[in-house]
Amino acid sequence: MQAKAREVYVPPVLQDLRAGTAELHIALEKRLPFFTDQLDTDAFQRLMQAYYGFYRPLETALLESARIPADFDLTPRLKAPILQRDLCKLGESVRTLEQLPICQHLPVIDSSAACLGVLYVLEGATLGGQILRREIATRLGLNAGNGAAFLDVYGAATGRRWRDFIEYLGARPMDVDERAAVVAAAQTTFSCFERWLESREVLA
């Protein structure tokens, strides 16, 4: 007898997140220069500087927020320290890193739902990283050891860590309003990030 295909349960909040951010994802993906001929190592470094200018203050805001759910362990999911190490490997000094422009228009983190919406975007971005990692290794010869660890931040654990996050998200009891707040925060995260990257002139 043929085995029945395993049915994957998609929690309602994830359905809402996907429906609410798919277009924003496509729009941003199209403008990111990872696959353009103009992307040389200097342009990649400027792009990663811009990523750092967004991730660092946003992760700091999450860490300092009293709203982050008490049972969520953010520390092992922080990516700004990895970006910082990459930039050093690409030739930046600690002093120049400290002087890099930092995004001032971040998503508002005023509830646990908002934290989760922001985290959905930051965690989901690790999935696309797997494609980008290969591209940047082929194109620029950069990898986890010499300046592109951010694109492979969870390495072989990428899939498992995403599933863990989704399981955590799906297990949280949420009413309709909270689900809407999660989606709104995810949407704002995408749009703030795109606007920031645009202002840093790193988008195609």
Say if residues 136 and 204 touch (Cβ distance below 8 Å): no
First to last CA, the chain: 52
**Residues near ligand HEM (CB under 6 A), total:** 16
Alpha carbons 65 and 191: distance in angstroms, whole number: 21
Contact call for residue 127 and ligand HEM (CB under 6 A):
yes
Contact call for residue 182 and ligand HEM (CB under 6 A):
no
Alpha carbons 119 and 143: distance in angstroms, whole number: 25
Specify the stretch interacting with ligand HEM by CB under 6 A; choose among 29-37, 100-108, 147-155, 174-182: 29-37
Which of residues 20, 53, 107, 124 is near ligand HEM by CB under 6 A? Answer: 124
Alpha helices, DSSP H only, in 157-175? 158-171
Of 159, 133, 135, which is closest to residue 144 (Cα–Cα)? 133
Contact call for residue 165 and ligand HEM (CB under 6 A):
no
Site string for ligand HEM, 88-107 (x = CB under 6 A): --------------------
Which of residues 58, 68, 103, 121 is near ligand HEM by CB under 6 A? Answer: 121
How near is the Cβ of 159 to ligand HEM at its closest, in Å? 7
Of 109, 79, 85, which is closest to residue 97 (Cα–Cα)? 85
Whichever of 34 and 154 has its CB closer to ligand HEM, that residue is: 34
Say if residues 44 and 136 touch (Cβ distance below 8 Å): yes
Q: Which residues bind ligand HEM (CB under 6 A)?
A: 17-18, 25, 28-29, 32, 34, 120-121, 124-125, 127-128, 131-132, 193
